[in-house]
Amino acid sequence: MSEPARGETALAAAPTAERIKGTSLWADAWRRLKKNRMAMAGLWITAVMSLLSAFAPAIAPFDATYKYEWLVTRPPGFTHPDVLVKNELRLGHAAGVPDSYANARSLRFEARDVRRTKYRVFIEDGRVDRILRPGERRDALEATGESYLAFRRDGVLVPLAVDSLRSGAPAPAALAARRVAIVFLCTPGEPVVIEATQEEGRVVSLTRNGRPEERVEFDGRSVRRVLADGEEQARTHLLGTDGGGRDVLSRTLYGGRISLLVGLVATLVSLIIGVVYGAVSGYFGGWLDMALMAIVDVLYGIPYMFLVILLMVTFGRDIVVLFVALGAVQWLTMARIVRGQILSLKQKEFVEAARMSGTGHLGIVFGHLIPNTLGVVIVYTTLTVPAVILQESFLAFIGLTVEYQGRSLASWGALVNDGVRALSSDGGNSWVLLVPSLAMAVTLFSLNFLGDGLRDALDPQQRGRT
């Protein structure tokens, strides 16, 4: 070309001249994604939730299945001495107390039994009509100085003024709307102090109120304080306990494992079926494509969740059945999307080049075509995971919880179901519902935002389509 060379100054000085940057599709997509604040938040939250769930056994403060039977439905932040439901100390044996005490030299349990007497209070027109102790009728309760009165509401004992119940007197406001109320007169027993010393994991000395004993058993509920090597031992349920006395935070962490696992594996199943089916259909085209797509059309007309329910009812609720069932529901859309992509991709020159260089059909489909559909596949996968999690939770909600080797697995859906069932009329135990619901909603929210953002980043033409 005879065009005279331009001086460097001209280019350098021209503020409008722009260097052309070569950026790969992926780098470009990542740059676009990073600009989308909601998608990035979604990405981080998804990552955090996944890590929390994956490492649930290490993170969870409590055993998710252990029931502190006397600590049911305690609010978030509730603290209690660290003991088991049934504790046993026996000379020469390992202590039957929480594992965390295994290395303590001295142990001191301060307990106080409570004797409860159950009364039935009949209320008419807001006044106490009569009070029945099983078998006999009374007009008032026999209370001693240290007694206190409580009634059971939503599995929790709520205190009442001791002298508030008397025949003919107005009923306490908390009971006024009822016709019959069960109240407990709780009379604290004598304080008990159990002390033990351990060596090499065995109990070597044991006293009860100062007297040596061979063996002491005590109820977790009676324990007021625990000292291990002189230090008070207490545990906190950060997010409270549920109606079974299980730690809500731990259950939610473990529940996330199940939900995310189901979401991931079922999505993977659908991914494999969908991508292969769609790729084969799109690549070979012709009558095969027509036949395969006709099948997809027909299957689209089937109300799938009903079949999944039927499948789980008839073939059991094993997690493997669920993976297959949910995966089988989801692959149709993936197959259509991949087919569409392959149809346009196979016209491109690089496919022709691969064919001429002797690559076989399989090589072209798996080596050249499918890798090029990756963007769309990733986007759709990200959006499928939350959909599957939602479907599993539906199943759990209607009572079809997944099982593994006969054990029921409490996914988020199952936890939410528990929370809904336990929800009291005044919402006083709402954390049992809200904690797993929020965990699930936040995760689904993040995954959906991430999927949206990925679509905008990877597939700008599709921008904004759902």
Partner 1 sequence: MGQFLAKRLLQVPVVLWVLVTISFFMVRLAPGGPFSGEKRMPKEIEQAMMAKYHLDESLPRQYARFLWDLVAHGDLGPSYKHKTRTVNEIIAHKLPYSLTLGGLATVLALWLGLGAGIVAGIRQNSRFDYASMAIAMVGLSVPAFVVGPLLQLAFSMKLGWLPVSGWDGLGHMVLPSLTLALPFAARIARLTRAGMLEVIHQDYIRTAWAKGLSERVIVLRHALRGALLPVVSFLGPGIAAMLTGSLVVERIFGIPGVGSEFVESALNRDYTLVMGTVILYGVLLVVMNLLVDIVYGFLDPRIRYGA
Partner 2 sequence: MSESAPVLQVEDLRVHFKTDEGKVHAVNGVSFHVNEGESLAIVGESGCGKSVTNMAVLRLIPMPPGEIPTGRILYRGRDLLNMRNDEIRAVRGGRISMIFQDPMTSLNPFLRISRQLTESIELHTPLRGEAARARAIEVLAQVGIPEPAARIDSYPHEFSGGMRQRVMIAMALSTDPDLLIADEPTTALDVTIQAQILQLIRRLQRERGMSLVLITHDLAVVAGLCTRVVVMYGGTVVEVAPVDDLFADPRHPYTLALLRSVPRLDAPPGRALEPIEGLPPKLMSEPRNCPFAPRCRFVRDRCLHEAPPLEADADGRLRACFVPIRAGQAVDAAEERP
Site for partner 1 in 386-405 (CB under 8 A): 386, 390, 393-394, 397-399
Site for partner 2 in 27-46 (CB under 8 A): 35
CB of 3 or CB of 200, closer to partner 2: 3
13 binds, among partner 2, partner 1, none (CB under 5 to 8 A by kind): partner 2
**Per rule CB under 8 A, is residue 1 in the interface with partner 2?**
yes
**Per rule CB under 8 A, is residue 427 in the interface with partner 1?**
yes
Residues 6+ apart with CB under 8 A from 279: 338, 339, 342, 365, 366, 369, 370, 373
**Per rule CB under 8 A, is residue 445 in the interface with partner 1?**
yes
15 binds, among partner 1, partner 2, none (CB under 5 to 8 A by kind): partner 2
Applying CB under 8 A, the span of 9-17, 107-115, 206-214, 340-348 interacting with partner 2 comes to: 9-17
**Per rule CB under 8 A, is residue 173 in the interface with partner 2?**
no
148 binds, among partner 2, partner 1, none (CB under 5 to 8 A by kind): none
**Per rule CB under 8 A, is residue 313 in the interface with partner 1?**
yes
CB of 320 or CB of 353, closer to partner 1: 320
- Exactly one of 8, 18, 214, 426 binds partner 2 (CB under 8 A); which one? 18
HEC assignment per residue over the chain: CCCCCCCHHHHHHCCCCCCCCCCCHHHHHHHHHHHCHHHHHHHHHHHHHHHHHHCHHHHCCCCCCCCCCCCCCCCCCEEEECCCCEEEEECCCCCECCHHHCCCCEEEEEEEEEEEEEEEEEEECCEEEEEEECCEEECECCCCCCCEEEEEECCEEEEECHHHCECCCECCCCCCCCCEEEEEEEEEEEEEEEEEEEECCEEEEEEECCEECCEEEEEHHHEEEEEECCEECEEEECCCECCCCCEHHHHHHHHHHHHHHHHHHHHHHHHHHHHHHHHHHHHHCHHHHHHHHHHHHHHHCCCHHHHHHHHHHHHCCEHHHHHHHHHHHHHHHHHHHHHHHHHHHCCCHHHHHHHHCCCCHHHHHHHHHHHHCHHHHHHHHHHHHHHHHHHHHHHHHCCCCCEECCEECCCHHHHHHHHHHHCCCCCCCCHHHHHHHHHHHHHHHHHHHHHHHHHHHHCHHHCCCC
CB of 5 or CB of 173, closer to partner 2: 5
**Per rule CB under 8 A, is residue 234 in the interface with partner 2?**
no
**Per rule CB under 8 A, is residue 310 in the interface with partner 1?**
yes
**Per rule CB under 8 A, is residue 465 in the interface with partner 1?**
yes
Provide the minimum distance between the beta carbon of 13 and partner 2 in the complex, in angstroms, as a whole number.
Answer: 5
Provide the minimum distance between the beta carbon of 455 and partner 2 in the complex, in angstroms, as a whole number.
Answer: 17
**Per rule CB under 8 A, is residue 45 in the interface with partner 1?**
no
49 binds, among partner 1, partner 2, none (CB under 5 to 8 A by kind): none
**Per rule CB under 8 A, is residue 464 in the interface with partner 2?**
no
Applying CB under 8 A, the span of 12-20, 39-47, 290-298, 374-382 interacting with partner 2 comes to: 12-20
**Per rule CB under 8 A, is residue 314 in the interface with partner 1?**
yes
Provide the minimum distance between the beta carbon of 178 and partner 1 in the complex, in angstroms, as a whole number.
Answer: 16
Q: Which residues bind partner 1 (CB under 8 A)?
A: 294, 297-307, 309-311, 313-315, 386, 390, 393-394, 397-399, 413, 416-417, 420, 423, 425-427, 430, 433, 437, 440-441, 444-445, 448-449, 464-466
